[in-house]
């Protein structure tokens, strides 16, 4: 399985993602934002970081970079595109997933482990995972998911909510919402479920000595479900 | 020709920075505030001398990059 990780100026989780993808069997290529052609890929990842210094709005400048037109075409033809953290912000700014990510409600940069609950396993990202609650890491200043009431209705009608912030038992309540996101939303799909954007970092949970193993479960399942 | 654009958050979008500024102003004894909303201001020198055309160019920029229309409104405010 071939993957591509796009590096923007200011990306800082691109190499972590490269390590994670390779650890679980992907043949990964790093792709520079100024490239025009995307290498042949089964999965494209927009990594976390602070692309273009988060100038204007997080992800807005990256969403207009040269490689993004190829990424958008790849996604529109059904290719799998995953955006993590700043990658999620780039996805919303490029219009591949609905909504926007606002400044965290309590204005603090949040860096901690959280629990998330999967809502919908009828997609390549989560199918065959045998548990619903995962412990992932978040580190962001703008992760407060927001959309219009009309968009929210459409997202819910199409089962586009991918993961919710919850507690270790899977309870989805406001007190387990770290950043003020509407409905505790931590990640969403596009309508077709081939594009996934999420704030949590599964690539930070792939080594039992340093963290948990929930990221390992995610990546092992991901490569098997793409095959 | 210089065109200015102001980008503001839409009415229903939470503006935590505006709230903090409001609170700070009140703490400084500015007691007569209803609300503070923070926005962005752009001054763009466009290579175009026709005011109507210059405004249209900046409006297009607002729609495509400067504002995110899910959460923000834009206003072209002045021509110099």
pLDDT one-digit tens code per residue, B45-74? 999 999 999 999 999 999 999 999 999 999
Q: Under an 8 A CB cutoff, do B68 and A60 touch?
A: yes
Q: Is A142 a catalytic residue?
A: no
Q: Among all residues of chain B, which has the CA nearest to that of A58?
A: B68
In this predicted structure, what is the pLDDT of residue A74?
98
pLDDT exceeds cutoff 80 at A62: yes
Residue A119 clears pLDDT 90, i.e. is over it: no
* Cα–Cα distance, A52 to B61 (Å, whole number): 18
Q: Where are the domains of chain A?
A: 2-226
Domains contained in chain B, CATH given? 2-79 (3.30.1280.10)
> Do the Cβ atoms of A60 and B14 come within 8 Å?
no
Taking only the tens place, the pLDDT of each residue in A98-117 is 999 999 999 899 999 999 99
Architecture of domain A2-226: 3-Layer(aba) Sandwich (3.40)
Q: Which pLDDT does position B80 carry in this prediction? A: 66
Residues 18-77 of B with CB under 8 A from A: 20, 65-66, 68, 70-71
Residues of chain A contacting B13 with CB distance shorter than 8 Å: 102, 146
Q: What is the pLDDT of residues A180-221, one digit of tens each?
A: 999 999 999 999 999 999 999 999 999 988 888 999 999 999
User: Is A166 a known active-site residue?
Assistant: no
Alpha carbon distances (Å) from A144 to A84, A86, A173:
14, 12, 15
Residue among A13, A58, A85, A147 flagged as catalytic:
A85
Distances (CA, A) of A210 to A52, A131, A204, A206: 29, 22, 9, 8
What pLDDT score does A37 carry? 95
Contact (CB, 8 A) for A219 and A24 = yes
Nearest CB partner across the interface for B17, out of A64, A93, A107: A107
The pLDDT of B22-40, averaged and rounded, is 93
Tens of pLDDT, residues A126-180: 999 999 999 999 999 999 999 999 999 999 999 999 999 999 999 999 999 999 9
């Amino acid at each position: 399985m071939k993957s591509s990780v796009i590096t923007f100026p200011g990306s800082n989780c691109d190499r972590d993602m490269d390590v994670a993808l390779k650890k679980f069997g992907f043949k990964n290529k790093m792709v520079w934002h100024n490239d025009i052609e995307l290498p042949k890929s089964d999965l494209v990842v927009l990594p976390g970081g602070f692309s273009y210094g988060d100038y204007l709005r997080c992800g807005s400048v990256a969403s207009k970079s040269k490689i993004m037109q190829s990424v958008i075409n790849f996604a529109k033809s059904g290719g799998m595109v995953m955006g993590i953290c700043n990658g999620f912000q780039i996805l919303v700014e490029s219009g591949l997933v609905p909504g926007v990510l606002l400044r965290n409600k309590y204005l603090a940069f949040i860096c901690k482990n959280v629990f998330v609950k999967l809502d919908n396993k009828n997609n390549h990202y989560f199918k065959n995972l045998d548990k619903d609650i995962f412990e992932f890491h978040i580190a962001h200043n703008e992760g407060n998911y927001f959309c219009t009431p009309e968009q929210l209705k459409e997202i819910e009608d199409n089962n586009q909510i991918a993961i919710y912030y919850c507690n270790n038992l899977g309870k989805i309540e406001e007190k387990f919402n770290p950043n003020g996101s509407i409905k505790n939303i931590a990640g969403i799909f596009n309508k077709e479920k081939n594009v996934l954007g999420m704030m949590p970092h599964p690539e930070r949970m792939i080594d039992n000595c340093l963290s948990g193993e929930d990221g390992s479960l995610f990546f092992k399942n991901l490569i098997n479900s793409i095959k | 020709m210089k065109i200015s654009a102001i980008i503001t958050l839409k009415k229903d979008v939470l503006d935590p920075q505006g709230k903090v500024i409001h609170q700070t102003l009140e703490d400084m004894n500015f007691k007569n505030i209803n609300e503070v909303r923070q926005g962005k201001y752009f001054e763009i020198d466009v290579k175009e001398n026709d005011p109507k055309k210059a405004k249209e160019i900046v409006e297009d920029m607002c729609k495509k990059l400067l504002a995110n229309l899910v959460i923000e409104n834009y206003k072209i405010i002045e021509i110099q």
